């Protein structure tokens, strides 16, 4: 959409960074090794556990310099290797031990580059320290690792001789259990490549999607391979191959650290096909099946390639102190003792920076602990203001929480990306008007505007337009005045009254809603909300602990979840969350998820090189300050497994310059489990393709799981900003729904180049839909769906037998070529169980044409008749 104090601190302060540790077999600590004199912090004296133990080496210079000489406790004897790279020396401790220190006493022939490694089996190794600037002499090195075997692995000598150690001393203590082979599939959802594919329907990704109904197939030739990137070096203990009928008679399983040099960990020339679960011992970031002989005349075909790793192979993550969390430098937490001037100065500074900053990378959250404040909160772009109480009434601001559009001459149609949540507001004496002049992605959620005499205006007031927004779980004691606001969705709220209408106002579960009277005025009123949970939120309890409240599902509800009642739900300590700072790798995020952590994203742009993979039921992913996730190399930003009750809230996903086939996927293709009792839900989840620069994605959001709930989403291919153009920020489809029983509350999808929304699942429901077709088709020939002019904004597949939608608006503004025509706004099968209620099409300013509303029904919206209404179909 475009136009036609001392106590103020970044989130309880930043604690000194603590070094992250490594447990088990993970490459997580890569530290430059220090010269003589570097020792561990003061503690009990470590125990030498390597002396006299069996030692072996890659080579020896001669019989007088055996491996055993480096562990004999005699600094007058030494091990020396041949004069080549690489070389290694390892000691067998006899039992598994936790290693805390290694001392290397070098002879003159030392290592310039080497690694210290541990292993449980003497085969799969984990690096616990490394350097390329070794100094020789005596090096006492604190490490954190565990295993039965420890080795020095030298890769570059400092002299023309070999490697030579007087002593190789390992310190630690025995104990702990040998890690067992895990059951989680480390390959699922990971990046995957293949030597070839038989066709577009059998991609490499189908072999790691967790769906045994999709497959990878190669061309009919030998050799062929399929490889998966696990994201980090892992200790691999089992590989399972689920073959389709076209299987391998001869193949190898291989691992690699870099995807280039491969080691074979298992092989056969008598493959049996079917399901092969193969115990292996190896380590690497990459795993591949390398087929050398086919059993049939076809290619190689795998339903699934599954990889299991040892149970201790996941690195620990930095714990979160729930009383003093680091919420990042762009989160500001105030308490009632903070001077009013300090609060106001911070708010003014943020607004000055963010008033027009719609495409910058800055993100901010301003949080108020329970109490009473005096503040004028004027929200600019990418700023969230929120209370930290269990109820909005726990935090009262005497003043304003407002959005205005003076930066665009009163036009609010670009006032996107900001949020007000979980606060109550008492207007100043002598003032009776609050202004919330916004368009998309600007929720007014879980708010309380006090005073029956007051009103909140949804436009700038007397000038300009606004174009769509949300109120949810909100109480307005007085009146809501929509004015020139073009469309609006209100859900589960309580209004003193409402006045105003333009094109499409939808009220659901709202007490105080106006009577239904579509299209004049255009009020669609639905008495109840069939099933919804409210958005999770951060709060501070009476002990000062930060927690996240997760509201329970409500059925057939009306009114707020909190006013005059105790909200139902569960509470999670922030100690159960991994707090994600910008710059945190996706591998680290996924490691936290694998350890059962929830995620709290701090304000900023979070770049990921691989998908964030949410596999555990009931995981909460919560963003502050419209935290943004951007994939940098054409991957998805997030994939959610087909599990119960995942909640993603307050997150924006932005496409990168390399095309992503999909930006977010809820459930892998073919998902079929019922989640009716505990659906996954998406709250205030927004997507952007282009605007700050080039962004590309074929499909923005794909929902494969059943029973998913969408609670306010805007999927936007940019129509203005940088990196914008018909052949620049390319994007076919906004939303694709393949799951059954999916419900969308407040769905905004705009400017995609083919279908805006495609609905393939049965039993779907949409309450309020706002759409703008792409502004920029250069001509009709560039925007044809076969013989049909353009693409519908809302497409229900011909195979669907049940679907319902209420309050749908689709608009065109073909400003590049006003002669372009969209044949229809909605396409749906003719079926009495596929029903649409209250639809509107608009030719904005008469620029372009939408020929029909739904199928071949409804009038033409064009320059002569800019607004067309249809109340029902069929």
Q: Please tell me the distance from the alpha carbon of residue 184 to that of residue 193, in angstroms, as a whole number.
A: 21
Q: Return the H-helix or E-strand segment holding 346.
A: helix 340-354
Q: Please tell me the distance from the alpha carbon of residue 470 to that of residue 506, in angstroms, as a whole number.
A: 10
In the annotation, is 772 catalytic? Answer: yes
Q: Please tell me the distance from the alpha carbon of residue 105 to that of residue 505, in angstroms, as a whole number.
A: 78
Tokens of 442: 């600007």
Please choose, from the candidates 207, 187, 280, 201, the residue with its C-alpha nearest in 3D space to the C-alpha of residue 247. Answer: 207
Exposed, middle or buried: residue 802 (CB in 10 Å: 0-12, 13-18, 19+)?
A: middle
Plot region of 807 (φ>0 → left; ψ -120 to 50 → alpha; else → beta): left
Tokens of 273: 């096909």
Phi, psi torsion values for 427, nearest 5 degrees:
-65, 150
- Cα separations in angstroms, 172 against 23, 44, 90, 165: 14, 11, 16, 20
Pairing of strands 79-80, 164-174: antiparallel
Cα-Cα end-to-end distance for the chain: 30
Tokens of 830: 């003719």
- Burial of 401-430, coded b for 16+ CB within 10 Å and e otherwise, reads bbbbbeebebbbbbbbbbbbbbbbbbbeee
**Residue 16: which residues within 8 A CB-CB, separation 6 or more?**
none
Phi, psi torsion values for 350, nearest 5 degrees:
-65, -45
User: Exactly one of 61, 244, 404, 772 is catalytic; which is it?
Assistant: 772
- Give the E-state strand segments of 77-119 in sequence order: 79-80, 87-106, 111-119
Four-residue CA torsion sign, 402, 408, 409, 412: negative
DSSP string, 425-441: EEPPTT--EEEB---SS
Instruction: Give the single-character DSSP code of 587.
Output: H
Pairing of strands 612-614, 638-640: parallel
- Give the E-state strand segments of 440-559 in sequence order: 444-445, 448-449, 455-457, 470-472, 475-481, 487-491, 494-499, 504-508, 523-526, 529-532, 537-540, 546-551, 554-557
Question: Looking at the annotation, which residues are catalytic?
Answer: 772
């Amino acid at each position: 959409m475009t136009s036609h104090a001392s106590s103020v601190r970044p989130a309880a302060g930043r604690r000194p960074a603590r070094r992250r540790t490594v447990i088990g077999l993970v490459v997580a600590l890569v530290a430059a090794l220090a010269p003589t004199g570097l020792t561990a912090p003061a503690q009990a004296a470590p125990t030498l556990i390597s002396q006299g133990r069996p030692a072996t080496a890659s080579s020896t210079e001669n019989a007088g310099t055996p491996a055993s000489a480096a562990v004999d406790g005699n600094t007058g004897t030494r091990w020396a290797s041949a004069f080549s790279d690489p070389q290694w020396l390892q000691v067998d401790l006899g039992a598994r031990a936790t290693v805390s220190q290694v001392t290397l006493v070098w002879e003159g022939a030392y290592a310039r580059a080497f690694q210290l490694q541990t292993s449980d089996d003497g085969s799969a190794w984990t690096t616990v320290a490394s350097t390329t600037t070794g100094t020789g002499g005596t090096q006492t090195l604190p490490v954190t690792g565990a295993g039965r075997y420890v080795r020095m692995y030298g890769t570059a000598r400092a002299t023309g001789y070999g490697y030579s150690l007087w002593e190789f001393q390992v310190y630690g203590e025995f104990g702990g259990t040998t890690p067992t082979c895990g059951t989680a599939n480390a390959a699922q959802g990971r990046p995957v490549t293949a030597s070839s594919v038989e066709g577009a329907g059998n991609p490499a990704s189908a072999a790691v999607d967790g769906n045994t109904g999709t497959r990878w197939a190669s061309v009919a030739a030998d050799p062929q391979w399929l490889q998966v990137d696990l994201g980090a070096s892992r200790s691999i203990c089992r590989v399972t191959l689920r073959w389709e009928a076209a299987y391998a008679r001869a193949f190898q399983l291989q691992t690699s650290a870099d995807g280039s040099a491969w080691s074979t960990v298992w092989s056969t020339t008598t493959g049996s096909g079917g399901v092969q679960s193969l115990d292996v011992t190896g380590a690497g970031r990459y795993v591949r099946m390398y087929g050398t002989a086919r059993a049939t005349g076809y290619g190689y075909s795998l339903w699934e390639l599954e990889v299991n790793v040892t149970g201790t192979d996941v690195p620990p993550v930095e714990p979160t102190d729930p009383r003093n969390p680091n919420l990042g430098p762009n989160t500001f937490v105030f308490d009632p003792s903070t001077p009013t001037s300090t609060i106001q100065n911070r708010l003014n500074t943020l607004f000055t920076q963010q008033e027009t900053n719609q495409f910058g990378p800055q993100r901010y959250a301003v949080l108020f602990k329970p109490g009473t404040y005096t503040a004028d909160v004027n929200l600019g772009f990418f700023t969230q203001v929120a209370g930290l109480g269990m109820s909005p009434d726990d935090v009262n601001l005497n003043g304003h929480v407002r959005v205005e559009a003076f930066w665009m001459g009163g036009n609010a149609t670009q006032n996107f990306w900001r949020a007000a949540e979980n606060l109550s507001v008492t207007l100043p004496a002598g003032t009776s008007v609050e202004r919330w002049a916004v368009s998309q992605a600007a929720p007014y959620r879980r708010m309380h505007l006090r005073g029956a005499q007051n009103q909140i205006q949804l436009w700038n007031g007397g000038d300009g337009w606004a174009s769509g927004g949300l109120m949810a779980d909100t109480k307005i004691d007085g009146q809501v005045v929509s004015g020139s606001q073009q469309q609006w969705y209100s859900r589960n709220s309580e209004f003193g009254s409402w006045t105003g209408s333009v094109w499409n106002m939808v009220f659901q579960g709202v007490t105080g809603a106006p009577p239904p009277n579509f299209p004049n005025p255009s009020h669609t009123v639905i008495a109840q909300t069939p099933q919804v949970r409210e958005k999770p939120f951060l709060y501070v309890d009476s002990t000062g602990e930060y927690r996240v409240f997760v509201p329970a599902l409500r059925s057939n509800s009306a009114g707020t979840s909190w006013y005059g009642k105790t909200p139902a739900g569960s509470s999670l300590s922030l100690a159960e969350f991994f707090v994600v700072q910008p710059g945190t790798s996706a591998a680290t995020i996924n490691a936290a998820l694998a350890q059962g952590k929830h995620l709290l994203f701090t304000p900023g742009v979070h770049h990921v090189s691989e998908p964030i993979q949410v596999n555990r039921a009931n995981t909460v992913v919560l963003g502050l300050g419209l935290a943004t996730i951007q994939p940098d190399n054409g991957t998805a930003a997030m994939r959610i497994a087909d599990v119960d009750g995942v909640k993603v809230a307050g997150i924006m996903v932005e496409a990168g310059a390399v095309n992503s086939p999909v930006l977010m996927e809820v459930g892998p293709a073919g998902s079929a489990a019922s989640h009716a009792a505990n659906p996954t839900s998406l709250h205030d989840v927004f997507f952007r393709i282009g605007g700050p620069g080039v962004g590309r994605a074929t499909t923005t959001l794909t929902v494969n799981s059943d029973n998913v709930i969408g609670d306010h989403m805007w999927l936007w291919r940019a129509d203005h900003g940088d990196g914008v153009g018909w052949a620049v920020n390319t994007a076919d489809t906004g939303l694709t729904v393949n799951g059954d029983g999916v419900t969308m509350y407040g769905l905004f999808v705009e400017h995609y180049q083919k279908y805006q929304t495609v609905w393939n699942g049965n039993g779907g429901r949409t309450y309020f839909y706002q759409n703008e077709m792409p502004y920029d088709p250069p001509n009709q020939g560039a925007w044809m769906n076969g013989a049909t002019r353009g693409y519908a904004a809302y497409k229900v597949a011909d195979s669907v037998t049940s679907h319902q939608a209420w309050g749908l608006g689709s608009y065109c503004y073909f400003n590049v070529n006003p002669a372009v025509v969209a044949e229809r706004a909605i396409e749906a099968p003719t079926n009495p169980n596929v029903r649409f209620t209250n639809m509107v099409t608009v030719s904005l300013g008469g620029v372009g044409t939408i020929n029909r509303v739904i199928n071949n029904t409804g009038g033409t919206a064009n320059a002569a008749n800019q607004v067309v209404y249809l109340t029902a179909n069929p």
